Chain A
Amino acid sequence: MKLLQLAALRFLLQARWSTVTVVVGIALGVASVSAVHLISTSINTALADVTPVYRRELSYLIEKPDLQMGDYFELRAAWRRGDLPGVTGMVPIIEGQLLLDDNTLRVVGVDAFSGLSSTLSLAGLSPRGVIAAAGAIRQLELDPDAVRIGQPLAESGPLAQFHVERSLAGVAERLLIADLGTAQELLQLPPGALSRVGVQVEHPLLQLQRFLDRLLPGFGAGFAGYHWSLPGWQVHGLDSELPSQAFAQSVLFNLGALGTLALVVSWLLVYQVSLIWLRRRRTTMTMLQLQGVTRFELLSGYLGSVLPLALVATALGIVAGWGLAHLLSRIATAGVEMRVGLPQPDTWLLGKALVSGVGVSLAGGYLAFRQEWRTASAVVGAALLWVVLLVSAAAFGIWYVEALWGGFVAIVAVSLAVILLITPVLNWTKTALQQVPGLSLLARIGVRELVFQPRALSVAIAALTLAIASSMAIGIMVDSFRQDFTRMLEHRLTHDVFVRSSGVDLSAAQEALQGLPEVSAVVAAGQTRIRVRGRPVELGYARFDESEARRYGARAALAPGQALASERLLREFGLQPGDSVHLASGVLDLVGVFPGFGDARPRLLVDLATARQMGVNTGFDRLSISASATGPVTRLLARDFPQLQVELAEPLRTRALAIFDQTFAITRALTLLALLVACIGLYNALLGLKLNQQPVLALLASMGTSAAELRRVALWRGLAVSGGIAVFALPLGLAMGWLLCNVVNPRAFGWSLQLQLTVEVIAVPLLLGLAVTVATSLLPVPAEALREST
């Protein structure tokens, strides 16, 4: 080890107290990143588990009316000829429902030899053999540990000739997977019938999205994405097929951002403590410079001494992250029937942890080193210039850039601008404080420590400001999201049973359901794809009487020529309510807007009559049923319309709210972690300040100041730092909250959140941060730290 590095390392080992706090801070930052990675991987795995195996590798599902195997073979031939660039695989699919002892099972048939590796697992099924998902095994009342080849689906009847050959653990859906022929036979479909075709598409944008998702979970979900289309076919993204996955991605995005927050705060901690260390070593380093040591050699020596600390902290962080992930998983799944198994540490985890721990340490150390050698005037001048540039960047991100990254740029720019303002504002306060009347001199001593040592404190204040503001902003977003989410559930789940079909005419089912005494209303709706200005838009139609229109926020029934637009449509087309949409088939007046939570595409809703006027083939593909009892409804559907997919409202609502609440329990825990790291940073900064203040305290003691009065000086100092933090954190928190609700959410997910400002959401993080600051200020200087400073 070089002598310069050795000297620096020995200094850090002598300054044990601050070194330990830095290692803990970095470890917590790494732990946060590691925990988020593990939880995200586990959620992704859980999502993959509940995703039927045949869909895992698919990018899109395509369909057309009266789809037959012949259509599929034509399509496959076109692909093999090279007429479908980007397509890397396709698989024919049959879907339907099977009635078994008054219960329904979903049957899916796929071609095992279509060429996708995931469907190959279906190969080798014997004739009339099926794979039963865990949900189906429960439904069939089979012993999950004793599922074996040959166990029949039923004791007698036509189903007795089919048998369960394998089980599929983890998938809670009541699902049977079989080969195409077996599925056709099970569902009593004519030979050659087909429900849809799954297509796998590769594109550089999709690859980039996958990479970013691994790097920052959920990040790729924020991109506009790649729209693939196929003339003559209806193309559905997997996200529209599996809306729970889209929601999960938005949750992962939150977790990823929060995991990074603790890391950013720990970087500020390293920076802060490095400044303190370097100042204490400044005399030695100046002496070394006089002896001919270059600044680069000093920097290398310093960073070389920080590196071992970073490696130790990273190792501790990975271990702590593992424990944290377990803890958070338990918190998140408490009371919810969900089994979350954490994955084994992988290369991604080790790489992210190492880059995070070493990266923040070296970057923090390097920037502190540069800062220590700068002149104060240059720092202030540069800071103000940067603030102007950052505010411009934020404005650019909000109003000029329409993509999601603009929202991120705005958040980062606003945060940095506020952070950079801290030192100049503290300097300005130095003179302004002289004008404050009525402040006792002891109070002034306490308060002015803040403004006389701006460089010693500003980074710690920045870290805590960032943590409190983020906590506030996340709280605002979660509160707003929950209110809107509840509203969405009320809108979407007004009815009791939901039926979907893929290509089957629903009029017979509608008629049959209306004949049931338990059914009070059946609303038929359909959806088709139209083009607005050449871009695909989903057009939904139903009988939009007053009550149906109210579900989407309209005040009256939709008249002919009137339409409701989703927020995503208005944003993507630059329209406002009151504008008109010109189509080849006519003009639609936009009379209202609805959030469109979970919509993957822009959507218009019109009355059935309007759709017919537009020349749309108004077949229905969904029914919403209000019924006093759901049992007769589901039984009828399973018996007479086995190909329909049926879902009940109440389990959906309960599950959605439970997952929502538990998910944000993790969010709160991660925010607290960032706050904890920030508090460690502030403790370090205040400790340094108190050590610097020892001569003044000794002087005051020599003048007869009592211990109580000295504590009052400390209290004033704590209150001053708290006040400073509040001044910066409050506007930053509100700004970040506004950006999350009104810029990031609409761009990432297509909907805006109505900003909900509650006293609790604003006050709790502020008071928590302030209480910690005051308590830290009042804590006595540890004897160990006093010895280190002498």
Chain B
Amino acid sequence: MSSTAAPGAEGGLRTRQGGAPHRSAGAAVRPRPRRSRRGAGTLLGIVLVAPLILLMLLVIGFPLVNTVLLSFQDQGVVGTPSSFVGLRTYQAILGDSALWESLRRSGVWLVGNLVVQTVLAMATALLLTRVGRWSKAARTWVLLPWVIPTVAVAVIWQWLTNSNYGLLAKGLGVLGLDGVQFFADPDWAMPTLILMNSWHWFPLGTVIIFGALQTIPGEVYEAAKVDGVNAWQMFWHITLPLLQPVLFALGLVGTLWSFNIIDSIYLVTRGGPSGASTTAPVMIYDTAFKAFRASEAAAMSVAAIVLLGILAWLYIRFAKPEEV
């Protein structure tokens, strides 16, 4: 084929194979066509990406701008007429201790989910890497909690913990621990919700970590074994460092995702009992659609965006692993 190739194709082949000096030489001889090709490539790239950018602007940019504009108004019921009030809504919500309390609960929710999900996902992924029939089978059914719809997860956990017929409640009762009211006790509601949500989402982390574990060359472990390294040392000095980029990305996206979760909480406790599980998103939802104060809810959303942005920046700044 190369023998019958057109001159242009030959030139292209030469350029690809020739390395840097050839490219420089080619550029010196025929600069304009190269720039033109680069320009065409850039244009093609823009054309290909443009629909996605437009879509993103439409489905993310527009609601975001709308939310910011709404926060400077005094709208009550969503969609009703309103007038511009400047920063007055921000003054009101930032001076409200309930917002800060909900943000504190969001912090607890976020850290709790991060820790529990990461530990569960890591442990499960490590177990799945073991050779054996059970671990192979488990690779499928471990995904089960993930594919169950959130509403079903909420019902399952409510049934499990119901004091009259709940398996968990009755089981603890047999052990003499029948005083635990999982979703009805302010001290237990948040930890139980974190556990429920982590149970639902940890398979996602498991799949990602399991995939990353498969990319670690087996020779590294074999070499370590020859050097007499024990299992814990292998995990601490080999597995964990090599997983850091994946854990970092998982932590970042998972944290932001967890912060915004509302369905799991709302379906089970609606923020109760007595406000014990009212996180910031729950409060925003209630403010918009229960108290009918749309602008206040919008201002809270904007405040949450800013706060999350700062958190994300700090996370990236301080937790980003060294490039391997």
**A, B from the same assembly:** no
Q: Please list the residues of chain A having a beta carbon within 8 angstroms of any beta carbon in chain B.
A: none
Q: Please list the residues of chain B having a beta carbon within 8 angstroms of any beta carbon in chain A.
A: none
